[in-house]
Amino acid sequence: MAHLELAGIQQRYGTHVVVDDVSFAIETGSIACLLGPSGCGKTTLLRCIAGFEPVVAGAIHLEGETVSRAGFTRAPERRRIGMVFQDYALFPHLTVAGNIAFGLTANAGEREQRVAALLETVGLAGQGEKYPHELSGGQQQRVALARALAPKPELILLDEPFSNLDVDLRERLSLEVREILKREGMTAVLVTHDQNEAFAMADEIGVMANGRIQQWDTPYRLYHEPANRFVADFVGQGVFLPGQVLSAHEVEVELGVLHSAVPLECSQGCLACGRDCGVEVLLRPDDIVHDDASTLSAEVILKAFRGADILYTLRLDSGASALSLVPSHHNHAIGERIGIRLDVDHVVAFKTETRQFVSGRGPQVVPVSFRR
């Protein structure tokens, strides 16, 4: 049985539908993430799960029990859910230990033990007597997590927990928090608009846009097998090059013909027909490899040095741009032509007319996805 299950959840403010027909299920011990642009409904959905918002339609089940449906909302304090808010809202007049113990009802001895154990868990052993203002942002964040874990909730909800921190700390803390949640066997739902954070922390990710889940999948599949244009654009970098379907197993782009072991298909059944079907092929920066021996070349128009790699923006002969990720000892200047070749594992293509996906919410075209 799923730990948390949402079935057809809708929530709106007045006539503005903010969460629309959202369904997913999370197993016990799994860390899920809702990833999407600002305003897409992530916080609203989290508040529905916590019981701070009613739902207009659908149902939320916690360990098989219905906790929300139209006309019924079980109170947040009766859900055994811990929540970490974006601003972590520690009580400034309480010590670290006081903050962590705040929601605990056990006797003094047990409280003290639990607080000490949690301080140890979040790497702050011996710092219980400090006040929040004596801690760094990352340390305060860990206190907020310890406070949410203290009453041993069954499910923990984290709303943009690292958004106030700098990039390095964010990355380190997201891995640390993942470790802590896994060690404690917690089920968790994290909300973020930062894809790296989602990738670092989550077992499964739901990409949201306009109140709807666009794809619920593993990080790997979201990146390599995006279900629609929105997900392909939002997750990871890349460009779309115009392509032509040559046969059930072949798509041609400017840089060559991509061969597929699996026949191409789409919801309209026409990608495989070979009849002049126009598609847009997604090429990630790691799909275009720098190779001096290649007969193909392109001009470097931008370069971003990243330490281990350089991300080159290239101008192809047609004038289209493409990205190529290259080990940084291949240091080329802007204006130089460099040899390139395709090294594509999964190819993802969308029929050309699906461009207006986000506003349209129209029929979703199943992407062409295959291995070479």
State the residues that interact with ligand ATP by CB under 6 A. Answer: 13, 18, 36, 38-44, 193
Q: How many residues bind Mg ion (CB under 5 A)?
A: 1
Helix and strand counts by DSSP (H, E) for the chain: 9, 22
- Residue 356 CA to residue 339 CA, distance in Å, equals 34
- Strands, sheet with 65-69, edge to edge from the N-terminal-most edge strand: 16-26, 4-13, 57-62, 65-69, 72-73
Of 14 and 335, which has the nearer Cβ to ligand ATP?
Answer: 14
- Residue 331 CA to residue 74 CA, distance in Å, equals 60
Of 43 and 214, which has the nearer Cβ to ligand ATP?
Answer: 43
- Residue 364 CA to residue 232 CA, distance in Å, equals 13
CB of 13 vs ligand ATP, minimal distance in Å: 3
Of 200 and 209, which has the nearer Cβ to ligand ATP?
Answer: 209
| Coarse DSSP helix, strand, coil percentages of the chain, rounded to the nearest 5 percent | 25, 35, 40
Of 53 and 287, which has the nearer Cβ to ligand ATP?
Answer: 53
- Residue 227 CA to residue 222 CA, distance in Å, equals 8
Burial of 52 (0-12, 13-18, 19+ CB in 10 A): middle
CB of 43 vs Mg ion, minimal distance in Å: 3
Of 37 and 242, which has the nearer Cβ to ligand ATP?
Answer: 37
Q: Which two tokens stand for residue 30?
A: 């799994």
CB of 39 vs Mg ion, minimal distance in Å: 8
* Binding partner at 103 among Mg ion, ligand ATP, none, C-beta below 5 to 8 Å by kind: none
- Rule CB under 5 A: is residue 354 a binding residue for Mg ion? no
DSSP string, 36-91: --TTSSHHHHHHHHHTSS--SEEEEEETTEEEEETTEE--GGGTTEEEE-TT----
- Residue 263 CA to residue 260 CA, distance in Å, equals 7
Of the candidates 77, 49, 37, the residue with the CA atom closest to the CA atom of residue 188: 49
- Rule CB under 5 A: is residue 95 a binding residue for Mg ion? no
Q: Tokens 């943009």: give the residue.
A: 160
- Sign for the CA dihedral angle at 267, 270, 274, 275 comes to negative
- Rule CB under 5 A: is residue 260 a binding residue for Mg ion? no
CB of 44 vs ligand ATP, minimal distance in Å: 3
Of 45 and 264, which has the nearer Cβ to Mg ion?
Answer: 45
* Binding partner at 210 among ligand ATP, Mg ion, none, C-beta below 5 to 8 Å by kind: none
CB of 190 vs Mg ion, minimal distance in Å: 12
* Binding partner at 128 among Mg ion, ligand ATP, none, C-beta below 5 to 8 Å by kind: none
**Among 8-16, 40-48, 167-175, 218-226, the segment contacting Mg ion (CB under 5 A):** 40-48
CB of 23 vs ligand ATP, minimal distance in Å: 17
CB of 42 vs Mg ion, minimal distance in Å: 5
CB atoms within 10 A of CB 163: 14
* Binding partner at 18 among Mg ion, ligand ATP, none, C-beta below 5 to 8 Å by kind: ligand ATP
**Among 42-50, 139-147, 163-171, 243-251, the segment contacting Mg ion (CB under 5 A):** 42-50
CB of 47 vs ligand ATP, minimal distance in Å: 8
Candidates 11, 30, 43, 140: give the one binding Mg ion (CB under 5 A).
Answer: 43
User: Cα angle at 257 between 255 and 262, to 5 degrees?
Assistant: 135
CB of 175 vs ligand ATP, minimal distance in Å: 22
Instruction: Confirm if 315 and 321 have CB atoms less than 8 A apart.
Output: yes
Of 43 and 99, which has the nearer Cβ to ligand ATP?
Answer: 43
* Binding partner at 44 among Mg ion, ligand ATP, none, C-beta below 5 to 8 Å by kind: ligand ATP
Of 86 and 247, which has the nearer Cβ to ligand ATP?
Answer: 86
* Binding partner at 39 among ligand ATP, Mg ion, none, C-beta below 5 to 8 Å by kind: ligand ATP
Which stretches of the chain bind Mg ion, using CB under 5 A?
43
